[in-house]
A and B are shown apart, each in its own frame.
Chain A
Amino acid sequence: MSNTRITGKKSSNTLVRDLVNVGIFGALYLVLSGLGASIGFIPAFIVVSTCAVSLVTSVPLFLFFSKVERPLLCCVLLCTLFGVVMVFSGHGISYGLLCVMYGVLAGFCLKLFHKNFVGCLFANVMISFVPSSMMIPLWASTEEYLAYCSSVCDSAYIAHLAELSSSYWPLIGLFGFGTAGAVVGGFIARRVMKRHFERIGLAK
């Protein structure tokens, strides 16, 4: 059979599929990270909230990594979308750019490791930096950030934030817990992928 050929190759048609997937998982990521971050409203849990976010979002992210054909483009777009939404809810432009950068890094991780578990894990960690970085301004420009927060939060919470900003440990904690959550979440996600999605046939 001379005419036999492989169909559904990477083309502008499957690009639309990837873009739609970015949209879907972007919506899901926003909702889930919002839910995860909401435990940060309890002052004692501010530092661990990043861990909650990356735990909750790793399963959808792993599924996302396995579904898209263009990891670099899709990771950048996902993080850009998140950044755009955050800029529209009052975060600085610099935060948006940071999101894009994390997206690029995550995409390169996936490219380098050909979407295997290690690559997905690194990409997951990279994307976990996105919510972790949200509070960087608390240390970079303390007064402005506190002023910004005082419009959203009450005074007791602000006092707690001011206390946090006095040392750099909480910042390291944010990233540390975020990374830990992403790693643990990654292992959970691998198990869930094996036990569920691969058996259903949604992922390879």
Chain B
Amino acid sequence: MTINKTWGFSPLAALGSKEQQSRNLAFALDARTKLFLALAANGMIFTAPLVYSLLMVAVASILLLLEGKWKFVCTFFFVYLSAGFFFGQVKNLDIGTSGTIILASLFLMYRIMPACAVLYYVITTTKVNEFLACMSRMHILNKVTIPLIVMIRFFPTVYDEARAIGNAMRMRGIRLFSLRTIKNPVAFLEYRLVPLLVSITKIGDELSIAAVTRGLSTETKRTCVADIGFRWVDFVVWAYCIAVIVMFLYRS
């Protein structure tokens, strides 16, 4: 059972999206460029006015289109623009404190979604071996990159396991909003966490066994099939990001 039921913009859905990738490698960026893009985009989205984040979304969506993910881009813009529209409508109304939470979550979605789009691009299009190779070029230790990769790989697994456990709990009639939970919240936490921890540590053990029997070690130097290195697309993206940052700094 895959996880393609999640919303289109979540990075989780990225890893589980059904359609087969038809990658156009001419526009594949170097992993270092992608990291810089993510850093710059997140910096802009969280510190600068809306215009700058739109500039970053634009470049991310162009890159996504070049990768052939038009479906995601369409869904993203539809949800994003409608959230923005509703926010614009609701903002001026005085709906009191009760509406504040709805407003806040709408606003949060509106502001966080660009960051999600950029991260979606980075996570779905970066292959593990490219990432490892780029990291070792940047002289970042294996000790940091291996956990980072396992972490990224594990989010969908955590989600899958948590959902299976949630299903089992529903069959037994244990819910978050019920009398039993209110009476004993610690027990609810236990029911939820213990099976999750057990199955996740088990999967982790098996994963590390599979990794070491296939020669993953911190001592031997890895090679990488993918050719990494900067190409003209990378320079375009770097130049664009730097231009946006400089513009922002100059303006403020």
Number of interface residues of A (CB under 8 A): 47
In the complex, A17 Cα to B39 Cα: how many Å?
A: 30
Considering only residues 147-204 of chain A, those with a C-beta below 8 Å from chain B are: 147-148, 151-154, 156-157, 188, 192, 196-197, 200, 202
In the complex, A135 Cα to B65 Cα: how many Å?
A: 37
In the complex, A20 Cα to B203 Cα: how many Å?
A: 10
Knowing A28-B158, A41-B101, A67-B201, the reply to whether A19 touches B150 (Cβ < 8 A) is yes
Which chain A positions have C-beta within 8 A of B155? 27, 31
Which chain B positions have C-beta within 8 A of A41? 101, 104-105, 108
Knowing A26-B151, A59-B197, A152-B108, the reply to whether A21 touches B204 (Cβ < 8 A) is yes
- Cβ of B226 to closest chain A Cβ, rounded Å: 22
In the complex, A159 Cα to B108 Cα: how many Å?
A: 16
- For A37-61 the 0/1 string (1 means CB < 8 A from B) is 0000110000000000000100110
In the complex, A21 Cα to B103 Cα: how many Å?
A: 39
Query: Given A17, A27, A196, which contacts B208 in the complex, CB threshold below 8 Å?
Result: A17
Knowing A20-B204, A77-B143, the reply to whether A12 touches B217 (Cβ < 8 A) is yes
Q: Is the CB of A28 within 8 A of B115?
A: no
Q: Is the CB of A17 within 8 A of B212?
A: yes
A123 interface residue per 8 A CB criterion: no
Q: Is the CB of A73 within 8 A of B194?
A: no
In the complex, A163 Cα to B48 Cα: how many Å?
A: 23
B207 interface residue per 8 A CB criterion: yes
B20 interface residue per 8 A CB criterion: no
- For B138-157 the 0/1 string (1 means CB < 8 A from A) is 00001110111111111100
In the complex, A16 Cα to B47 Cα: how many Å?
A: 38
A98 interface residue per 8 A CB criterion: no
Q: Is the CB of B143 within 8 A of A19?
A: yes
Considering residues A12, A28, A157, which has the most beta carbons from chain B within 10 angstroms of its beta carbon?
A: A28
In the complex, A146 Cα to B51 Cα: how many Å?
A: 19
Considering only residues 114-166 of chain B, those with a C-beta below 8 Å from chain A are: 115, 142-144, 146-155, 158
Q: Is the CB of A202 within 8 A of B46?
A: no
Considering only CB atoms, which chain B residue lies closest to A203 in the complex? Answer: B201
Which chain B positions have C-beta within 8 A of A60? 193, 197
Which stretch (A84-92, A107-115, A126-134) binds chain B?
A: A84-92
Considering only CB atoms, which chain B residue lies closest to A24 in the complex? Answer: B204
Knowing A19-B147, A27-B155, A196-B194, the reply to whether A89 touches B217 (Cβ < 8 A) is no
- For B194-209 the 0/1 string (1 means CB < 8 A from A) is 1011101101110110
Knowing A59-B193, A153-B104, the reply to whether A24 touches B154 (Cβ < 8 A) is yes
Which chain A positions have C-beta within 8 A of B197? 28, 59-60, 63, 197, 202
- Cβ of A72 to closest chain B Cβ, rounded Å: 12
Q: Is the CB of A23 within 8 A of B148?
A: yes
- Cβ of B207 to closest chain A Cβ, rounded Å: 6
- Cβ of A82 to closest chain B Cβ, rounded Å: 10
Considering residues B49, B196, B203, which has the most beta carbons from chain A within 10 angstroms of its beta carbon?
A: B196
In the complex, A148 Cα to B48 Cα: how many Å?
A: 8
Which chain A positions have C-beta within 8 A of B211? 16, 20
Which chain A positions have C-beta within 8 A of B189? 56, 59, 188
- Cβ of A25 to closest chain B Cβ, rounded Å: 8
Query: Given A77, A89, A202, which contacts B147 in the complex, CB threshold below 8 Å?
Result: A77
- Cβ of A7 to closest chain B Cβ, rounded Å: 14
In the complex, A156 Cα to B96 Cα: how many Å?
A: 10
- Cβ of B60 to closest chain A Cβ, rounded Å: 14
Considering only residues 62-110 of chain A, those with a C-beta below 8 Å from chain B are: 63, 67, 73, 77-78, 80-81, 84, 87-90
The 8 closest A-B pairs by CB, nearest first: A23-B150, A90-B46, A20-B208, A23-B147, A27-B154, A22-B147, A24-B204, A19-B146
Task: Write 22 A-B pairs (CB below 8 A) sorted by A numbering.
Answer: A12-B217, A12-B219, A16-B211, A19-B147, A19-B218, A21-B201, A22-B150, A24-B150, A28-B154, A28-B196, A28-B197, A30-B151, A42-B101, A77-B143, A78-B147, A151-B45, A151-B49, A151-B111, A152-B108, A153-B108, A156-B97, A202-B201
